[in-house]
Structure 1
Amino acid sequence: MTKPPALFVILLIVLLACQPKKETVTTKTTADKIDSVMQAIPNFSGVVLFAENGNIEYLKPFGVRSFETNVPIQPTDIFELASVSKQFTAMTIMMLKEEGKLNYDDPIEKFLPGLPYQNITIRHLLTHTSGLPDYQAVMDEHWDKSKVANNKDILEYLIQYHPPINFAPGEKYEYSNTGYVFLGSITEAASGQDFVEFCTERIFSPLQMTSTAIRSNEEKLGLSNLAYGHIFVPEKNRFVRADSFPSSNYTMWLGGRKGPGRVSSTAEDLLKWDQALYSDQLVSQETLAEAFTPQTLNDGTKSNYGFGWTIIPDSPAGKVVWHNGDNPGYKTIIVRYIAQGKTLIMLCNNYHSQFEAIREAVDGMLAVELEEAQ
C-alpha cells in the first residue's frame, strides 16, 4: 500500500494556495483547498473539521469506523484523544488557581506528600519542565498487568521504586506524562472531588460537550459510534484493531490513570471547547493568556510549551497554539490559529503516515492567506 510522501502534499497545497486572487467564481475557499488535499491522500480514516470564528467551514468524515465491519465513519463519531486530553487537565488547575485553592508555584508535596522528588512545582508539571521519570517504565516492570492501575497505584510505585529524576526542575523541557498524572491527582486533592467528575461537571457539561467524557475501557467498548484505532499490518495487507496487539496492552492495564489522556470526544465537541477559550466562560482571558505564553527555563531561555498547549508565537500563520495526541491506532490534533480566529481539528483512527503533512499543508495555506490579507 503506497502512500504519497509529505513533500507531495506540501507541493500540492502550495499550488492550490497560490492561485491568483483575481479569480472570482472559480476562486477556491480554504475548505476547497483542504478537501483537495484530503482527496489526494489515500486510505485516510477519520474526521477533519475546519472552522473560522466558530463557524464550521469544512467537516468531513473519511474511511471506516471499524475495518472489520466496514461501517463508514460519521462526523459525530467518538475518538480517543490521547494527549490532546492534557489541555483539559491544565484547565482544571487554572480553575482551581482562580478559586484560590492552589498556586502555580506551590510545591507538589503540598498536595502529594511522600513523593521522593524535591523542588518541583505545579508550574513545572504544567510546562513539562519537572524532570520527573517516566512512570510507565516503572509500571511496565513491576505492575501486575491482570489489574487496572490508577493514579494512586502509580504514585505508590514511584514512591516504592523511586526511579531517579532526569534533570533539575526548570532546567529544560522534556515531555512528561508523569507530570500530568500528578496534576490529575493534585486536582482531586485541591478540589476534594474525583477528577472525572470535576471535568464532567466543570468543563464538559457547561460547554454542552455531550459526546465527551473520560471513559473506562468498558465504557468505550459500549459506544455504538466509537471509531476504533487501527494499525496497518503489511504481512496481512490490511488494517487491524490496535488493541489486538500485545504492545498496545498498556492502554488496558493503565486504563485507570487520570490526567495525561483518556478523554474521548468528537470533532464538533472539540470546536465547542475551542470557542470557549475565546471567552471567560471557564476562566478569565488573563489566566488563558498566561497558559498561552512560552515558559521561561532556569537559564532564561523560553520553551515552546505553556499550560497544556504547544505555542508558536510568531508562525507564518500568526500566533498558533496546538496539541496533538498519539495512541495505538489513533492520531489526533487541535490547532488554534489565534491570530486568524481559525481552527483545525483532525481525528484519525488508522494512524495515517500523512497525518502531520495535512496539518503542515493547512499551516501553509493559512500563512499565504494571512500574507495576502495584509
Structure 2
Amino acid sequence: MDDSSLAQALERALPSGSAAACRAGFGSETRIFGSSEPQPVFSVTKMFVAAGVLRAVDAGALRLSDSLASRSPGAPSGCSIAQVLTHTAGLGDYSTNPEYLTAVREHPSDPWSLDSIAAASRQGEPGIFVYSNTGYWYLGAMLEEVSDMGLGQYLHREVFEPADMGSTRYPELETALTASGYSTLWAGPAGAAFSTPEDLLCFESLVTDTDPPSPAAVSPAMRRAFSQSVPVDAPAPWRDPRYGAGVMIDTKLRLWGHGGSGPGHRSAVFTSWDTGAAVAAIVPEESGFIPEEVLVPLLGHWE
C-alpha cells in the first residue's frame, strides 16, 4: 500500500476540521491535509520535555539516576528523574482537583504557577505507575534550572530546531492563548506546546534508530532510555501498553507515540518501530473523536 492510500484511509477516518499527516514507511513521502496552523497538542508535549531531558543527560548536565530534588530546588525528595519520566515517582496529579477545574473555568487566560500546581497535587508512593502531569511540571522547572534558559528557549534549541519542527513552540504567556481565550500554560510542561501534524512526524528523528543515524538524534544510550518502559493499564486498541520516557509504547503492536487532549483540541501521533509508518492528527474536541482509537488500529493494519 502506498502513501496516498494511507492518506485516504486517514482522511476518511477523521472528523471535519481535522489536520493530519502520514507516511507509509521510512523514506516515504509525507502526506498532509487540513490546516497548517500550529494548534495545541496538550500531553504530546511530554515527549518534547522528555527529549529535552535526554539532551541534558547527553550534555552532562544531569543523570537519569539523579534525584529530582538534587536538580530542581524545591522539588519533592525520594524520587529519581527516571521515575518522573515514567510516571512512577509518586508525584500525584491536579487535573481532577475541583479548585483547579474551577480556576480554569473562571480564569482561562490566567494560568497557575508550579507552586499552585504542586499544592493541588496529592503525592503518592514512588515505584507505581500513576499518570502525573505534576511530574512534568517539575521536569520543566528542572530543565530551566540546569540550562539557565526559559523552557521555550531550551526546547527550541535542543528539540524543535534539531528535529526541523519549525512550526512547533512551547509558548510564552503572550503566545499561549487559543482562539477561545484559554491559555495552554494551564497545562504547563505537561501539555502547553503548539505544533502541527507534519512537525509531529519530524520528532522521531530525535529518538529512533536509523541507518545512518539522524544528526539530530540523541545518543544511543538515550535512545534506549527513551523506550525503557513500565506496564500500564490501557483499553483496546492497546495490546501490551507500556510507558517509557514521555512516550506510550505497545510492544506487541510495535508502536510508540502519545496522545493529548484539552479545551478545543485532541491530538495524537504514533510511529511503527519496524517500518517507520506514522500518523499524526489534531482534531476538534467538540467532535468527540478520540484519535488514539483510530490511529493505533490504522497503523497496526498498515503493517
TM-score normalised per structure 2? 0.81
Contact 2:42–2:187 under 8 Å retained in 1: no
SS of match in other structure, 1:55 = coil
Alpha-carbon distance in structure 2 between the residues aligned to 1:344 and 1:181: 27
Matched, 1:87 2:22: no
Q: CA RMSD in A?
A: 3.1
* Residue 11 of structure 2: aligned partner: 38
> Could you list the per-position Cα deviations for residues 252-309 of structure 1 after superposition, in whole angstroms to 9, with x for gaps in the alignment?
3x72664111111112222222234342524113311221122489xxxx97111011
Contact 1:45–1:350 under 8 Å retained in 2: no
Q: Relative to structure 1, is the Cα distance of residues 139 and 340 closer, same or farther in structure 2, using a 3 angstrom cutoff?
A: same
Q: Relative to structure 1, is the Cα distance of residues 40 and 48 closer, same or farther in structure 2, using a 3 angstrom cutoff?
A: closer
* Residue 58 of structure 2: aligned partner: 98
Contact 1:293–1:306 under 8 Å retained in 2: yes
- Larger mean CA deviation between 348-357 and 122-131 belongs to 348-357
**Amino acid corresponding to residue 262 of structure 1 in structure 2:** A
| Aligned residues between the structures | 286
> Could you list the per-position Cα deviations for residues 54-91 of structure 1 after superposition, in whole angstroms to 9, with x for gaps in the alignment?
43353222xxxxxxxxxxxx3x2221110001111001
* Residue 118 of structure 1: aligned partner: 77
**Amino acid corresponding to residue 285 of structure 1 in structure 2:** P
- How far does residue 92 in structure 1 lie from its aligned partner after superposition? 1.2
Contact 1:139–1:154 under 8 Å retained in 2: no
- How far does residue 101 in structure 1 lie from its aligned partner after superposition? 1.4
Aligned match of 2:29 in 56, 65, 74? 56
Contact 1:139–1:157 under 8 Å retained in 2: no
> Could you list the per-position Cα deviations for residues 211-235 of structure 1 after superposition, in whole angstroms to 9, with x for gaps in the alignment?
11112464255xxxx8x5xxxxxxx
Matched, 1:173 2:129: yes
**Amino acid corresponding to residue 110 of structure 1 in structure 2:** S
Q: Relative to structure 1, is the Cα distance of residues 263 and 103 closer, same or farther in structure 2, using a 3 angstrom cutoff?
A: same
SS of match in other structure, 2:62 = coil
Q: Relative to structure 1, is the Cα distance of residues 185 and 341 closer, same or farther in structure 2, using a 3 angstrom cutoff?
A: same
Q: Relative to structure 1, is the Cα distance of residues 138 and 283 closer, same or farther in structure 2, using a 3 angstrom cutoff?
A: farther
Q: Relative to structure 1, is the Cα distance of residues 157 and 304 closer, same or farther in structure 2, using a 3 angstrom cutoff?
A: closer
Q: Which runs of 5+ in 1 are unaligned?
A: 1-27, 62-73, 229-242, 245-250, 368-374
Alpha-carbon distance in structure 1 between the residues aligned to 2:151 and 2:99: 21
Q: Relative to structure 1, is the Cα distance of residues 277 and 121 closer, same or farther in structure 2, using a 3 angstrom cutoff?
A: closer
> Could you list the per-position Cα deviations for residues 235-262 of structure 1 after superposition, in whole angstroms to 9, with x for gaps in the alignment?
xxxxxxxx37xxxxxx53x726641111
Q: Relative to structure 1, is the Cα distance of residues 29 and 157 closer, same or farther in structure 2, using a 3 angstrom cutoff?
A: closer
Q: Relative to structure 1, is the Cα distance of residues 162 and 259 closer, same or farther in structure 2, using a 3 angstrom cutoff?
A: closer
* Residue 187 of structure 1: aligned partner: 143
**Amino acid corresponding to residue 132 of structure 1 in structure 2:** L
Q: Which runs of 5+ in 2 are unaligned?
A: 209-213, 233-239
* Residue 195 of structure 2: aligned partner: 265
* Residue 25 of structure 1: aligned partner: none
Q: Relative to structure 1, is the Cα distance of residues 210 and 30 closer, same or farther in structure 2, using a 3 angstrom cutoff?
A: closer
Alpha-carbon distance in structure 2 between the residues aligned to 1:309 and 1:285: 17
Counterparts of 1:128-207 in structure 2, within 5 Å, are 128-136=87-95, 137=97, 140=100, 148-149=110-111, 153-155=113-115, 158=118, 161=119, 164-166=122-124, 168-170=125-127, 172-207=128-163
Q: Relative to structure 1, is the Cα distance of residues 303 and 102 closer, same or farther in structure 2, using a 3 angstrom cutoff?
A: farther
Aligned match of 2:282 in 339, 347, 350? 347
- How far does residue 357 in structure 1 lie from its aligned partner after superposition? 3.7
Q: Relative to structure 1, is the Cα distance of residues 365 and 101 closer, same or farther in structure 2, using a 3 angstrom cutoff?
A: same
Q: Relative to structure 1, is the Cα distance of residues 201 and 364 closer, same or farther in structure 2, using a 3 angstrom cutoff?
A: closer
Aligned match of 1:306 in 237, 244, 249? 244
TM-score normalised per structure 1? 0.67
**Amino acid corresponding to residue 338 of structure 1 in structure 2:** W
